Structure 1
Amino acid sequence: MLVVGDATIDLYPTDATSITPGSRFEWHIGGTATNVARWAASLGSETGLVTNIGTDIMGEMAAQHLAESPVDTTHVTRVDATSPLTLYAATEDDEHWTAWIAGSCYGFTPPADPATLVSPYEWVHLEGVTLPADVNQTAVRRLAEAAAAAGTNVSFDLNGRTTQWPTPDAYRQALQDVLQYCDLVFAGTDDLAVAGIDRTPAGVLELLPPNHSATAFITDGPAETTAMIVADGEVIEQVTATPPTASVATTAGAGDAFAGAVLAARHSGISDLKELATIGNTAGAGDAFAGAVLAARHSGISDLKELATIGNTAGAAAVSTVGPFDTDRFGAMDRLR
């Protein structure tokens, strides 16, 4: 499969103290598309990534780290620009993210010939964070159209950000332009709220053409995940699955893990909605080991040692913590959100 979208450098404080000059951080390779690609690859799918990486020191380290991962980086482009950074900070009752995007290499470099890029793949996965016009809107639409014309399955994760869209109508129209080509749709209830529609299966149907057919997953944090099959504009099958209880420092990346695990499971031949939702929920809860073992058991593997090896490999590949480093190395940057 081919995953197309963004890469970021995500910074996390190493302790709970306030952030000041000299504070120490762990850094992770992030970005919705990069997260999905790494999860799918860690679960055994041959996965390529299309994204930009900067030529600054953070980009150099990210490029090296990705090159050593199971993700195919043939289509990763080094861009003479700074790397996009995000900074996590916990609050008393929530979490806060600040992103420095302006002037960075955020997004991906559009291919000269979209059809040539996508035709070798069974699946192409696209991301909503690169859908704004000032990121990659035209390229995302062209890739979806080219993939559908070539018989390549198209997957799309809405990933709505209020900071990226002037109005719900603008976001909704951009989604409809792309989703008409999609076979698999991932939507969080927060994404649907950004689009100004019901956070339900009926809301998802509003985004699809009247006679469209697709599979869709609606995630809602720790609440039930809804999975459904749409045929000719009608929901013909719908199931729910409750995510496992998990205690995590941040839920960031859970939706990307869900999408990556479901794509890997679909690629391995799993089609049962309940099982796909369960695998996605397990990955979203941060358990790459369990997600990999579930998929392996379905594919017929029963040897305990082999299952343990598969789970351990997935768990190791899904972790990307590198660092730490300090804030004194960074000057002033534009704040997007």
Structure 2
Amino acid sequence: MAPMTDFLVIGECVADIVRSPAGPDVTHPGGSPANVAYGLARLGHRAALLTQLGDDPSGELIGAHLRSAGVELLSDGQQGVATPTAVVTLDDQGRASYDFDIHWTLRPTGAPTGIGHVHIGSIAAVTEPGASAVSALAAELRSTATVSYDPNVRADLLGDHGAAVAKVEECVALADVVKASDEDLEWLYPGEPPADAARRWLALGPSVVFVTLGGDGALAFTGAGEVRGEPVRTEVADTVGAGDSFMSAMLDALAERGLVGAGARPALGALGAGELAAVLRHAGTAAAVTVSRAGARPPDVAELRAALAG
């Protein structure tokens, strides 16, 4: 594994085979952690992705896509793995549903040096046998790096509900920053208001919990209270990658404020309402750019600056 990388993302790549009423299937590089790494690199950060890619056309497509933004690809050295796939079916409003063919078998591997922040999430954080390696590496790096987590719930892959909730909560307890959608929380805690679920998670240890509400904006929760981010209006092409774009831009906003790295934990925990509102606007604007075009295509620095100015 390579040294001196600012952000380390650990998790799956997925070839998204997008199926829509409008035309033929189109394959896009995807996978929530891969999208976050790509988004961070597009926003000018040094980012590495510890993942599993097959020696197959989908693996070649995804690898080239990630490297084009400057993402450094790391592996556990396993041979013979297959690149995961997902058939992404879009309805006539651009909303996505997923049918996965994915296996996650990441083996324990040594920690790189120079990491300021670790991001984990989605399928890789909860699917064994690889999930244990993800948690162990995040826990090891936590002594010097901040950690973020996005459950990105894929219910069809999670099995027993109670066991899935317990695993998600273990990941939440590892993290300093957590982001979840209102749909994630509804699956995890049926009938419980998102604000109650977010406060439940704060009690497990994170400094900040962000909840995205789709077209209704987003919320941020800290020990001091709740801040609402208003929705950023745009014409929606599809919603693929919107949450991942929010996540990478949110981390970008925190990094701009010097709030990554273990030494930043006290300041992260003391974030005020004005700063949180600015972070929510930054992240929400990035997500709005992403949903305005097909596939998980987050903005680069210039595009995000222009969108924020507009």
Specify every segment of 5 or more residues in structure 1 that has no aligned partner in the other structure, as ranges. Answer: 18-23, 230-234, 290-308, 316-337
2:13 is aligned with 1:7: yes
| Deviation for aligned residue 1:65 | 2.9
**For residue 276 of structure 1, what is the aligned residue in structure 2?**
279
* CA positional deviation for 1:238: 1.9
Q: Is the 8 A contact 1:282 1:288 kept in 2?
A: no
Is 1:121 paired with 2:109? no
User: Could you tell me whether the CA contact under 8 Å between 1:241 and 1:274 is conserved in 2?
Assistant: yes
State the TM-score, normalized to the length of structure 2.
0.79
Shift in CA distance, 89/178, structure 1 to aligned 2, threshold 3 Å: closer
| Partner residue in 2 for 1:259 | 247
Equivalent-residue separation in structure 2 for 1:75 and 1:279 (angstroms): 31
Output aligned runs, 1:132-143, within 5 Å: 132-134=126-128, 136-143=130-137
Q: Aligned to 1:53, what secondary structure does the other structure show?
A: coil
Q: 1:219 to 1:90 in 2, by over 3 A?
A: same
Contact 1:34 1:49 in 2 (8 A): yes
Q: 1:191 to 1:245 in 2, by over 3 A?
A: same
Q: Secondary structure at the match of 1:159?
A: coil
Distance 1:162 1:60, change over 3 A: same
Asked if the contact 2:13–2:30 (Cα under 8 Å) also holds between the matched residues in 1, the reply is: yes
- How many residue pairs are counted as aligned between the two chains? 277
1:249 to 237, 242, 265: 237
Q: CA deviation at 1:173?
A: 0.7
Matched with 2:297 is: none
* CA shift digits 1:156-176 (9 cap, x unpaired): 002112112234322221122
2:61 maps to amino acid: M
When the two structures are superposed, what TM-score results if normalisation uses the length of structure 1?
0.73
Question: Hey, what does 1:285 align to over in structure 2?
Answer: 288
> Distance between the aligned counterparts of 1:93 and 1:170, measured in 2?
33
Structure 2 unaligned segments of length 5 or more: list them. 1-6, 259-270, 293-299
Tell me what 2:265 maps to: none
Q: Secondary structure at the match of 2:282?
A: helix
Root mean square deviation, CA, Å = 2.8
Aligned equivalent of 2:4:
none
CA distance, structure 2, for counterparts of residue 159 and residue 273 of structure 1: 22
Counterpart contact for 1:7–1:53, Cα < 8 Å: yes
Q: CA deviation at 1:313?
A: 9.3
Change (3 A) 1:91 1:66: closer
Give distance in 2, aligned partners of 1:215 and 1:7.
Answer: 26
SS at match of 1:240: strand
Q: 1:313 to 1:132 in 2, by over 3 A?
A: closer
Establish whether residue 311 from structure 1 lines up as the match of residue 308 from structure 2: no
2:246 alignment partner AA: F
Give percent identity, aligned residues only: 23
Do the aligned residues in 2 keep the contact of 1:257 with 1:284 (CA within 8 Å)? yes
- If you compute each CA radius of gyration, which structure gives the higher value, 1 or 2? 1
Instruction: Give the aligned partner of residue 180 of structure 2.
Output: 187
Tell me by how many angstroms 1:73 deviates.
Answer: 2.0
